[in-house]
Amino acid sequence: MHDRELDLTVVLSYEDPWWVARCLDVEVTSHGRTKTEALAMVREALELFFEDNANTVPPAPLIEPRIERLRVRVPT
């Protein structure tokens, strides 16, 4: 079996006291005290995810996720 590399999209957000890293291509999330740590942790989580779920590796090329801003009404 040969390994291949995927370029995945990760969104970072700060949720005090953690940086949270969410992969938009597959449902994998992790966190760390710094952005660098959060990215390292989500990379490890993604590698473990694909080891455990080898048959779910997305086909290449991936369709890039789009990030859109959306205005919603909320009660005041």
Binned at pLDDT 50, 70 and 90, residue 67 comes out as: confident
Is residue 46 assigned to a domain? yes
Residue 35: per-residue pLDDT: 97
| 20 vs 33: CA distance, rounded Å | 9
Does the pLDDT value for residue 75 go beyond 60?
A: yes
Domain assignment of residue 23, given as a range: 10-53
Is residue 65 assigned to a domain? no
Residue 58: per-residue pLDDT: 65
CA atoms within 13 A on the CB side of 22: 9
Is residue 2 assigned to a domain? no
Residue 62: per-residue pLDDT: 66
| 24 vs 75: CA distance, rounded Å | 29
| 71 vs 76: CA distance, rounded Å | 15
| 21-58 residue pLDDT tens | 999 888 899 999 999 999 999 999 999 988 887 776 66
pTM given for the model: 0.77
Radius of gyration in angstroms for the set of CA atoms belonging to the chain, rounded to a whole number: 15
Alpha-carbon distances of 71 from 14, 15, 54, rounded to whole Å:
21, 21, 38
